[in-house]
Amino acid sequence: MRAERTKRSGQAVVFLLLAFTALVFVLLFNVDLHRIIQRKNQTQNAGDAAALAAARWQGATLNLVGELNLLHLLALANQTPAAVDAITNMQARLCFTGPMTALFAAQIAAKNNHIYVDPDMTALLTEHAATVRTQYAARFDGSQYFFEPWPGAWAEYADMIGQVAAAGIAAGPDNTQRFLDPSSGHPLMEKAFYEAVESRNWCWFYLHARGLIDSYSSFHDWPPLPEQDVTDTVNSEIFGVGLRPVATPIRFLFSAGALETHFREAGFDTVSAAMLAVTNVMNAVENWYVYNPRDWADWIRIKPDGGDAFPVTGPVRPEYDYAGADAVVRVYASVARMTPGIDGGSRNDKVVWTAAAKPFGFLETDAGKQRPDSAAGFVLPAFRNVRLIPVDAASGSENSSSDIDWVRHVRSHLQPYLETGHPSSGCRYCRALAVWEQPAFRQEGRDWLELYCADCNVRSGGGGRGGGSRRGH
Residues making contact with Zn ion (CB under 5 A): 409, 413, 427, 429-430
User: CB-based burial of residue 230 (10 Å sphere; 0-12 exposed, 13-18 middle, 19+ buried)?
Assistant: middle
Phi–psi pair at 79, nearest 5 degrees: 55, 55
The smaller minimum CB distance to Zn ion, of residues 134 and 415, is found at 415
Nearer to Zn ion, 393 or 407 (CB): 407
End-to-end CA distance of the chain: 63
Closer Cβ to Zn ion, 133 or 408, answer by number: 408
Tell me how far apart the alpha carbons of residues 195 and 186 are, in angstroms, rounded to a whole number.
Answer: 15
CB of 210 to Zn ion, least distance (A): 25
3-state DSSP assignment of residue 73? helix
Residue type, 65: V
User: Using an 8 Å Cβ cutoff, are 33 and 340 in contact?
Assistant: no
Q: Which is nearer to Zn ion, 296 or 429 (CB)?
A: 429
Q: Which residues, including other chains, have CB under 8 Å from residue 22's CB and lie 6 or more apart?
A: none
Cβ contact 96:292 at 8 Å:
no
Smallest separation (angstroms) from Zn ion to the CB of 410: 8
Minimum Å distance from CB 407 to Zn ion?
Answer: 10
Element (H or E) spanning 270, and its range?
none
Our CB check for Zn ion shows the closer of 371 and 413 to be 413
- CB 346 to Zn ion: min, Å: 24
Q: Which residues does 7 contact at the CB level (< 8 Å), separation at least 6?
A: none
In the complex with Zn ion, which residue's Cβ is closer, 382 or 433?
Answer: 433
Quote the least distance from Cβ 118 to Zn ion, whole Å.
21
Task: Write down the least CB distance from residue 409 to Zn ion, Å.
Answer: 4
Least separation in angstroms between CB 191 and Zn ion: 12
Q: Where are the beta strands (DSSP E) in 167-268?
A: 171-173, 243-249
**In angstroms, rounded to a whole number, what is the distance separating the alpha carbons of residues 259 and 250?**
9
**Measured between alpha carbons, how far is 276 from 254 in angstroms, rounded to an integer?**
11
Dihedral class, residue 289 (left if φ above 0, else alpha if ψ from -120 to 50, else beta): beta
Instruction: CB nearer to Zn ion: give 231 or 425.
Output: 425
Name the residue nearer to Zn ion (CB basis): 194 or 322: 194
Minimum Å distance from CB 414 to Zn ion?
7
DSSP character string of 388-448: EE-GGGS---SSSGGGHHHHHIIIIIHHHHHHHS-PPSS-HHHHHHHHHH-HHHHHHHHHH
